[in-house]
Amino acid sequence: MGRLFGTDGVRGLANRDLTAELALDLAVAAAHVLGDVGAFVGHRPRAVVGRDSRASGEFLEAAVVAGLASAGVDVILLGVTPTPAVAFLTEVLGADLGVMLSASHNPMPDNGIKFFARGGHKLDDVIEDAIELRMREPWDRPVGADVGRVVVEADACVLYEEHLLATTPHRLDGIKVVVDCANGAASFVAPDVYERAGAHVIAIHSEPDGLNINENCGSTHLGDLQAAVRDHKADLGIAHDGDADRCLAVDADGNIIDGDHILAILAIAMRDSGKLTNNTVVATVMSNLGFKIAMQAHDITVIETGVGDRYVLEAMKAEQLALGGEQSGHVVMLEHATTGDGLLTALHLMARMAQSKESLAQLAARIVKLPQVLVNVQGVDKVALAQNAAVQAAVAKAELELGAEGRVLLRSSGTEPVIRVMVEAQSQELAQRITDQLAAVVFAELSLG
């Protein structure tokens, strides 16, 4: 069996790949690895548990809570809440671990389990491997008063909202925003906190029923948001994913403002206020060349990492930097959060608009992006990608054709069974043609069918 943990926890088709039994076993193992810290510092181990709005989250939550409590861990149950709220409350409530049940932007049938260590930090590979090693090992089960207790603290998110408001550098009075909550974890928090910050808020896709999360809405389907922004004559639109750890936007005309734009806007704002440590920002290899050119023009250094907010976080911590993010809309602001936070990102983006009195289109115009095409090739052998000579030859040929004014990136997804083919070029037509050619080679050479 391969490694259980991917780039963002354990994820798969709920009740097929990610079963109640697996969730319980993971929770017990995590309790043994992470809960030991609580005993070391002199209190019973504590955990906070949250989930997004997927129907499968209900039985997976029950399994995780059963595993933790059976291992002697007291559980604070948050209910439907954003991933960054779980991270924040893990720290604020003095918990030894946090657990979030979510598959983020994936379709409703999927689900996932993310763990946070004491302080609200994502786990490194060593800790994840330790959890895997301790699954289903013999253990001494507590009895009587030593079993864990479970309390429901649905109002704990008020602490998270207060934290978000305290970090916002400028009131949002006068800003009219449409927020697409993806029928997910943002539905009960985002509209409220944006209104409390001063914005006039129109919420869409904010009525989760367990089945409609990410369904033609949210950060992966922006059509409804674009239409709503134009219909309501709003200043901008904000799109969250299922667990609200990412944020994309559209301007008043419905043009998409992606994570590269948002990261650049925040980097320039933080540089202007003296809060951008070493005038440096962390981005991934997926960031557009136009982003890097814009940062260079503003005397901001870019450190590049692999794809995944955990790698962005690692680089930020290693260099003690304040800001990093991904094109997908994961933005990490380490002064205020230990992980990507879509609501925090949106508040600071709107605060920049309010403070500068510039529209989102004007702020985004500082980044002139090269045309970029991304194709997900499904049904292929991800492991064989790096060793396939025909694929590598096709990449070399494409890079020769593009020269210095474009680039090619092929990578295996860490969260989905696909290979991503990305091409940037001076024209959309050229980027599309080369992407299609490379995708065809990848499928022909690596198809599992």
| Structure confidence by residue, pLDDT tens digits, 15-51 | 999 999 999 999 999 999 998 655 545 678 999 999 9
Question: pLDDT band at 181, cuts 50/70/90?
Answer: very high
Residue 92 is predicted with a pLDDT of 96
Question: Worst-scoring range by mean pLDDT, 205-219, 263-277, 285-299?
Answer: 285-299
pLDDT for 111 beyond 90: yes
pLDDT average, residue stretch 163-168: 98
pLDDT at 143 over 60: yes
Residue 244: is its pLDDT beyond 60? Answer: yes
Residues 220-232, mean pLDDT to the nearest whole number: 98
The DSSP 8-state label assigned to residue 447 in this structure reads B
pLDDT of residue 383: 86
Residue 438: predicted pLDDT: 96
Q: Which of 53, 56, 102, 104 is catalytic?
A: 104
364: Cβ–Cβ under 8 A, 6 or more apart, which residues?
A: 251, 255, 257, 261, 265
Of residues 260 and 35, more confidently modeled: 260
pLDDT band at 2 (very low <50, low <70, confident <90, very high): low
The C-alpha atoms of residue 101 and residue 112 are separated, in whole angstroms, by 5
pTM, rounded to two decimals: 0.89
Q: Is residue 278's pLDDT more than 70?
A: yes
Query: What confidence tier does 417 reach under pLDDT thresholds 50, 70, 90?
Result: confident
At 342, phi and psi to the nearest 5?
Answer: -65, -35
The confidence score (pLDDT) of residue 58 equals 98
Write the CA distances from 252 to 21, 120, 202, 221, 249, integer angstroms. Answer: 47, 36, 14, 17, 10
Q: Please, which pLDDT band fits residue 87 given cuts at 50, 70 and 90?
A: very high
Alpha carbon separation from 367 to 328, 392, 409 (Å, rounded): 16, 31, 21
Residues 6+ apart with CB under 8 A from 183: 53, 205, 206, 207, 208, 209, 212, 213, 214, 215, 217, 218
Query: What is the average per-residue pLDDT within 303-309?
Result: 89
Is residue 412 part of the annotated active site? The answer reads no
Tokens 């970029």 correspond to what residue? 372
Nearest by Cα to 353 from 365, 342, 361: 361
Angle, vertex CA 227, rays to CA 343 and CA 80, nearest 5: 35
Residue-range domains of the chain with CATH = 10-158 (3.40.120.10), 172-364 (3.40.120.10), 372-446 (3.30.310.50)
Percent of the chain with pLDDT over 90: 86
DSSP state of 266: H
Give the confidence band of 256 by pLDDT, cuts at 50, 70, 90: very high
Give tens-digit pLDDT for 332-378: 999 999 999 999 999 999 999 999 999 999 999 999 989 989 999 99
- Residues of the chain above pLDDT 70, percent: 97
Lowest model confidence (mean pLDDT) among 92-96, 243-247, 382-386: 382-386
- Confidence band of 405 (pLDDT split at 50, 70, 90): confident
Residue 415 has pLDDT above 90, yes or no: no
User: What's the whole-number average pLDDT of the chain?
Assistant: 94
In this structure, what token pair is assigned to residue 406? 């474009």
